[in-house]
Amino acid sequence: MKVLFTLDSLGNAGTEKSTLDILSHFSSDIDVKVIYFYPGDHLKKAYEDAGIALQFVNVSGRMSILKGISRLKKIIRDERPDVVVSSILRANLISRIACKQTNTKIIGTFVSDSYSSIRKKSFSFKRKVGFYFYYQLDRLTARIPCAWVSNSECIKKSNCHFLQVDPAIVKVIYRGRDPRKFLPKEKTSSKGIFRFVYVGRLLQTKGLTEMLLGFKIVSEIYPAVSLDIYGEGNLRKNIVQLVAQAGLKDKVTLHGVVPNGWE
């Protein structure tokens, strides 16, 4: 059996890491290749070390989705996969249309609450225009996948509602974790400081503003605390400003992208 997994990029983010972990456990009788369309390859070496075949399509600009569709159709005709599994918006749009035009089965994935009211409220007017444009494309092409996989029941319910997908064809599979990677460790905090650690992209939808406001309250009650933030994103500038305004510079540290920062 041959399966193509499509992603926007190999950036150091949740879906990309989960895909890496999932594919690392596939049996040898399944032929797997990951196709990624846009620049961003923080996890490329990790995929290569796991023996996972990669192909970078390398598209950009305003016509990137159309270019991606054309190039993916060629890849599909060359590879002849039994099924394609897509994740993340642009890869989803490219993959659905390419699979439709090549009569190839595709499985969609719900990896986040993409259309929540909280997320929409955080957008500027200009971004809302773009958001609704892509939402319409997402909704119109959401009928193409023959099946779906969702991270949770909550995410399934929300996406099925907004994209008008039949819940009967959506299977919930929790990502979970390998407990062997989270063994208890001896306390290493210096001077009795309790450390909080955040690992993930710096996006409004991740609740970082609320986390910092909550951390400020905690630090006022329990001064011996610190917060380490691992990751990058378009909210970084706002976070730096909020940390300064809240007087938390001596307690909050932004480390940037650090693979396996939780270790």
pLDDT values of the chain reduced to their tens digit, one per residue, 263 residues = 999 999 999 987 788 988 998 898 898 899 999 999 999 888 899 999 999 999 999 998 889 999 999 999 999 999 999 999 999 999 999 999 999 999 999 999 998 887 777 666 666 667 777 788 889 999 999 999 999 999 889 899 999 999 999 999 999 988 766 677 767 766 655 568 899 999 888 887 777 888 999 999 999 999 999 999 998 888 899 999 999 999 999 999 999 888 666 66
Among candidates 150, 159, 177, 170, which has minimal Cα distance to 18? 177
Res 82: pLDDT: 95
How many other C-beta atoms lie within 10 A of the C-beta of residue 11?
21
What is 2-172's CATH number? 3.40.50.2000
Res 25: pLDDT: 86
Domain locations along the chain: 2-172, 182-256
Res 211: pLDDT: 92
* Topology alike, domains 2-172 and 182-256: yes
Res 231: pLDDT: 87
Res 14: pLDDT: 81
Three-state SS string over the chain comes to CEEEEEECCCCCCHHHHHHHHHHCCCCCCCEEEEEECCCCCCCHHHHHHCCCEEEECCCCCCCHHHHHHHHHHHHHHHHCCCEEEECCHHHHHHHHHHHHHHCCCEEEEECCCCCCHHHHHCCCHHHHHHHHHHHHHHHHHCCCCCEEEECCHHHHHHHHHHHCCCHHHEEECCCCCCHHHCCCCCCCCHHHCEEEEEECCCCHHHCHHHHHHHHHHHHHHCCCEEEEEECCCCCHHHHHHHHHHCCCCCCEEEEECCCCCCC
Res 177: pLDDT: 66
Tokens at 84, concatenated: 């394609």
Architecture per CATH, 182-256: 3-Layer(aba) Sandwich (3.40)
Predicted structure pTM score: 0.77
